[in-house]
Every structure is written in structure tokens, then in C-alpha cells.
Amino acid sequence: MILVTGGAGFIGSNFVLDWLAQNNEPVINLDKLTYAGNLNNLLAVQNDPRHLFVKGDINDGALLAQLLAQHKPRAIVHFAAESHVDRSIHGPAEFISTNINGTFSLLEAVRAHWQALPEAERAAFRFLHVSTDEVYGTLGPDDAPFTETTPYAPNSPYSATKAASDHLVRSYHHTYGLPTLTTNCSNNYGSYHFPEKLIPLIIANARAGKSLPIYGDGQQVRDWLYVSDHCTAIRRVLESGRTGETYNIGGWNEKANLDVVHTLCDILDELQPKATGGSYREQISYVADRPGHDRRYAIDARKIERELGWKPAETFDTGIRKTVQWYLDNDAWVRDVQSGAYLTWLEKNYTARAEQNTEA
């Protein structure tokens, strides 16, 4: 079996559902269930004997040791993290705790377990660390996309903590020989995406008749990858990636934020026209920029294509349409995550921004 951390979050839950749909190998799913973790994402496998959910913290070394000794997973896929840049600006402490200390605690537990394995199992073992393109910093409009050798230059507390975790993983391979793999992926979108991130937030706000907040001038560029494509890439790296290596994963879909928001409005205009008439575009509102906002990310994903034969199956046009349709079909899921804690976050992040916008 494999052990997944953070498998109740956006990408982790998509990965667990995909994994169990593709093969019969069981999954232990360790997740702390922070605001971002949601067991409703896993309803389809809640009674599946191949899925064992454990509520727990990756900082809990005793729990990790017990899970590893009891279940003897052949691989770890490490998703658990604090993942939202804006939250890292409001409060970096949780990011240090989970992304750095938590990854360290996981590496220590896994090292102890791995070192005691018989030789053949030690050789076959894998630790796959799921990371982000944000560790590379920001690009100018004409710069070449990030490759696996681009120097790290993280600019937010989130990306700095992910960079630190990448370095720890690298050092455990280099120093102890732990068979690690690291993936650095661009912006994911798709089902079960928590509606504080751009795409699901815009869909939710548009449908609720609220304003659609664009940070700064909306010309910041992200590369977008449909989440199922990310899951396929991770499976491919786990199967055939070379240990000690890193693989960049991207969708070859660079888009300015404003264009993404326009696309979402246009699809909603078509699939669920406003009862009052007019376009959802009329709800767009420019608000104060994110401090330290990275201008552009772009991924050169040729290494994973060349070495492992992976490339994305979805274009942005196909993936974004599926995503909007998923949100239209899953109102109950959206309503459920829009709890009191979610409303508190919206107030914390957007009230000050709106005030700054009025003064501008």
C-alpha cells in the first residue's frame, strides 16, 4: 500500500480518488483536517476497504512511526501543506509548522522506517514530495519558463516554506540515500478546489451576485493545469521517476488572471445566464494587490515528457469548462465548505482590500 498525506485537500483527494479508480493498491490517507481538508471530497470511497483515513498531524512523530510500522507502505506521497499564499501573508506561523517542521518530522519518521527495511524493500521504497513552481520566484514577460535547474527565489512565506521543504527532501536523498522524488507543479484547477483560490472563488462569487476581486491590474500570469493531469503526472513520477530527481509539471497554459476571470464569466453566461440579464463580467472589481505578488510563472515541462512520457490531456478550454460544470452540479459541496470559518476568511482578506480600492 501507499501512504498519502493531505489526502482530504484539493489535489490530495483528487489523487486518492484517481488512484483507487486506476488500481487496487490500498491507500492510507493521513490528514489533519484543517479548514482545507474535507471528508466530503472522499464520500465516493468512504466505505471502500482499500481506503483507510486517519485524522492526524504530520508533526506527530509517534503517530507516523506507528502507521509506518503497522502498514509498511511501499511509498509516501506527501501533499499535506498550508497552501494559500494570502493566508501565509496574514499568518506565516502555520506554514512554518506544517510545511517545514511537518515535512521534517515526516522525513525523520520515514528515514527510521526505511533504514530498517530489508534491502530489496529499501531499494523499491519511494518518498514523493509534492511541491510548487512558486519556489522559483517570478518571471519577466520575456523570460524563459522555469526548468528544474532554475535557482530558487521564493517570494512569499508560503513559497519560502515550500522551498525549505524541497531542500530538506533533497538533503535526505543526498545525505541518507532516501529514495526521494520531488515534483514542482503550476496552478491546479478542477473539482473540490476550495473556494478561496481564484477560480472557485470567482465561480462562487459570480453565482452569488458578489463582486469578482481582481488583485492589482489582473495582468499577473499563471500556468494552469487540470488537477487530473497533475494526478497522472504524480503517478508516472512515482512509477518511473529517477530517485533524487525533480520534475516540473505544467499545463503549457499561461493565462493572465483577468483573462481567466473573463473566461469564467463567459462560460457562466452561457451555462447559467444571470436572472437579471447582462454578463457576469459586470461584477468584476479591481482591489488592492497582493503584497509581493509574483508577476508571472511559467513551467518548462519537457523533462517529464522526455523521460517519463507524460503530457497533459486537457487544454485550458476543455478543463475550465468541466470545472465550471462541476461547480454547477455540486452546489451542496460548495454550500458545505462555506461555513463560518470561510466567511471569517473572506472578511479578513477582502475588507481591507476594498477600503484601499475606494481610497485609490
Q: For the purposes of burial, counting CB atoms within 10 Å of the CB of 23, is it exposed (0-12), middle (13-18) or buried (19 or more)? A: exposed
Q: Is 207 left (phi over 0), alpha (psi -120 to 50) or beta?
A: alpha
Residue 153 contacts by C-beta under 8 Å, 6 or more apart in sequence? 136, 137, 138
345 in Cβ contact with 86 (< 8 Å): no
CB of 3 or CB of 85, closer to ligand DAU: 85
185 in Cβ contact with 233 (< 8 Å): yes
Q: Of these partners, ligand NAD, ligand DAU, none, which one is at the site of residue 222 (CB under 5 to 8 Å by kind)?
A: ligand DAU
Cβ neighbour number for residue 296 with a 10 Å cutoff:
18
Nearest distance in Å: CB 162, ligand DAU: 7
Give the residue, chosen from 26, 73, 102, 250, that forms a contact with ligand NAD under the rule CB under 6 A.
102
Pick out residues in 25-54 that bind ligand NAD (CB under 6 A). Answer: 31-34, 36-37
User: Per CB under 6 A, which region of 13-21, 79-87, 167-175, 229-237 contacts ligand DAU?
Assistant: 79-87
247 in Cβ contact with 128 (< 8 Å): no
Own/partner pairs, 164-167, CB within 8 angstroms, 24+ separation:
164/99, 164/100, 164/103, 165/81, 165/99, 165/100, 165/103, 165/129, 165/131, 166/129, 166/131, 166/135, 166/246
User: Per CB under 6 A, which region of 115-123, 196-204, 242-250, 263-271 contacts ligand DAU?
Assistant: 196-204
Nearest distance in Å: CB 316, ligand NAD: 14
Nearest distance in Å: CB 347, ligand DAU: 13
State yes or no: residue 323 binds ligand NAD (CB under 6 A).
no
Q: Of these partners, ligand NAD, ligand DAU, none, which one is at the site of residue 194 (CB under 5 to 8 Å by kind)?
A: ligand NAD
CA–CA separation, 135 and 158 (whole Å):
9
State yes or no: residue 220 binds ligand NAD (CB under 6 A).
no
Which residues on neighbouring strands pair with residue 189, listed in sequence order?
A: 226
Nearest distance in Å: CB 327, ligand DAU: 15
State yes or no: residue 285 binds ligand NAD (CB under 6 A).
no
Would you call 128 helix, strand, or coil by DSSP?
strand
CA–CA separation, 189 and 200 (whole Å):
8
CA 47 to chain centroid: 25
Q: Of these partners, ligand NAD, ligand DAU, none, which one is at the site of residue 138 (CB under 5 to 8 Å by kind)?
A: none
For residue 106, how many C-alpha atoms fall within 13 Å in the half-sphere facing its CB?
Answer: 31
Binding to ligand DAU by CB under 6 A, coded x per residue (else -) over 244-273, reads -------------x----------------
Nearest distance in Å: CB 164, ligand DAU: 14
CA 98 to chain centroid: 14
195 in Cβ contact with 223 (< 8 Å): no
State yes or no: residue 145 binds ligand DAU (CB under 6 A).
no
Binding to ligand NAD by CB under 6 A, coded x per residue (else -) over 121-160, reads ---------x-x----------------------------
Residue 222 contacts by C-beta under 8 Å, 6 or more apart in sequence? 186, 187, 254, 255, 257, 260, 296, 297
State yes or no: residue 83 binds ligand DAU (CB under 6 A).
yes
Pick out residues in 108-137 that bind ligand DAU (CB under 6 A). Answer: 132-134
68 in Cβ contact with 109 (< 8 Å): yes
State yes or no: residue 290 binds ligand DAU (CB under 6 A).
yes
Give the residue, chosen from 2, 3, 4, 11, that forms a contact with ligand NAD under the rule CB under 6 A.
11
**What are φ and ψ of residue 348, in 5° steps?**
-65, -45
Active site residues per annotation: 133-134, 158
Give the residue, chosen from 17, 42, 58, 68, that forms a contact with ligand NAD under the rule CB under 6 A.
58
Residues forming contacts to ligand DAU in the complex (CB under 6 A) are: 83-85, 132-134, 186-187, 197-198, 201, 213-215, 220, 222, 257, 290, 297
Residues forming contacts to ligand NAD in the complex (CB under 6 A) are: 5-6, 8-12, 31-34, 36-37, 57-59, 79-81, 83, 98, 102, 130, 132, 162, 185, 187-188, 194
